[in-house]
């Protein structure tokens, strides 16, 4: 089951560049939360702070707290543990190029020392089914490289890989921006189905996409969270002039 995340006074820097300023945001469980805003507004940095990927950049720094149920992910657990419980799908599909489809999905478990073949088989099948890729690849699981799939299939493979370690939250950083409309529709359908099991945070440049998949939407601008509300409210009756300007295409 998904869990909610409570973000309090989150600040992030790259070197001296203050990328996020005092973000406060409750992410409800088992819903999709969309983050929109122009390029460079900090929304990608924000999701990378949620699973401590931000700190893999040597000049990056974070303050504030991110609580997931009753643990503070910056104080109580290691980054490795955080990333196991909060999975991530990146903007560009990034399957491991030397691994088969099967090995890609199994990689998260295997690299953490899990070896039971029967359970791995089950997890791979379930994850690929959850990612709506099973039917397309079930005959080539161990024959084809993950890199030989089409872009849309690769992205669903990456989603399956993230699901295989059974996270509670799934972060998606513009998961469909490198894909064609058909693949994008498949990913969106997928987000709809995954909501019942996972909490989803999706960064997107595509406002129709946010409107289609997310219950709640946050609008970022220049490192600040301008507005956070139900998607319906944000797109029909935004409370802030800047949000209105952005969603009506007046800038950004």
Partner 1 sequence: MATRDENGTMTNRYKTSGANRLWRLASNHTATGLAILSTVLVIAPLVAIFIYLLYKGASSLNLAFFTQTPKPVGEPGGGMANAIVGSGLLLAVGSALGVPIGIAAGIFLAEFGRGGKVANAVRFTADVLNGVPSIVMGIAVYALIVLPQKHFSAVSGGIALGIMMIPTITRTTEEMLLMVPHAVREAALGLGVPNWRSVLSITLRTAMPGVITGCMLAFARVAGETAPLLFTAFGNQFWSASLNEPIAALPLQIYVYAISPYDEWHRLAWAGALVLILLIVVSVALVRYVTTRGVLKGAS
Q: Note the residues at the interface with partner 1 (CB under 8 A).
A: 51, 53, 56, 80-85, 87-88, 90, 92, 94-100, 107-108, 111-112, 143-145, 147-149, 158, 161-162, 165
- Supply the minimum distance, in Å, between the C-beta of residue 186 and partner 1: 20
Residues with Cβ within 8 Å of residue 168, at least 6 apart in sequence = 1, 2, 3, 68, 85, 86, 198, 199
Query: For residues 179 and 153, what is the distance between their CA atoms, to the nearest angstrom?
Result: 10
Residue pair 193/127 in contact (Cβ under 8 Å)? The answer is: no
Nearer to partner 1 among residue 3 and residue 207 (C-beta): 3
Residue with tokens 């946010």: 210
Query: For residues 93 and 96, what is the distance between their CA atoms, to the nearest angstrom?
Result: 10
- Supply the minimum distance, in Å, between the C-beta of residue 4 and partner 1: 20
Nearer to partner 1 among residue 21 and residue 178 (C-beta): 178
- Supply the minimum distance, in Å, between the C-beta of residue 7 and partner 1: 19
Nearer to partner 1 among residue 43 and residue 85 (C-beta): 85
Nearer to partner 1 among residue 162 and residue 247 (C-beta): 162
- Supply the minimum distance, in Å, between the C-beta of residue 138 and partner 1: 16
Beta bridge partners of 61: 13
Beta bridge partners of 173: 203
């Amino acid at each position: 089951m998904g869990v909610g995340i409570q973000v309090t006074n989150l600040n992030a820097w790259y070197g001296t560049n203050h990328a996020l300023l005092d973000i406060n945001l409750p992410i409800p469980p088992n819903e999709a939360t969309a983050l929109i805003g122009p390029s460079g507004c900090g929304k990608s940095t924000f999701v990378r702070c949620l699973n401590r990927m931000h700190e893999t950049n040597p000049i990056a720094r974070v303050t504030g707290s991110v609580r997931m149920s009753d643990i503070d992910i910056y104080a109580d657990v290691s980054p490795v543990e955080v990333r196991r419980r909060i999975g991530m799908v990146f903007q560009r599909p990034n399957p491991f190029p030397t691994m088969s489809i099967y090995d890609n999905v199994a990689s998260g478990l295997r690299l953490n020392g899990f070896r039971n073949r029967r359970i791995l088989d089950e997890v791979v099948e379930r994850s690929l089914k959850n990612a709506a890729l099973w039917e397309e690849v079930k005959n080539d699981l161990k024959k084809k490289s993950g890199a030989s799939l089409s872009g849309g299939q690769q992205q669903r493979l990456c989603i399956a890989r993230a699901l295989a370690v059974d996270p509670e939250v799934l972060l998606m950083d513009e998961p469909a921006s490198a894909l064609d409309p058909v693949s994008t529709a498949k990913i969106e359908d997928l987000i709809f189905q995954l909501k019942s099991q996972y909490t989803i945070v999706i960064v997107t440049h595509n406002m129709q996409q946010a409107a289609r998949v997310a219950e709640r939407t946050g609008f970022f601008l220049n490192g600040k969270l301008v507005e956070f509300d139900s998607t319906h409210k944000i797109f029909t009756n935004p409370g802030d002039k800047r949000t209105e300007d952005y969603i009506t295409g007046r800038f950004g």
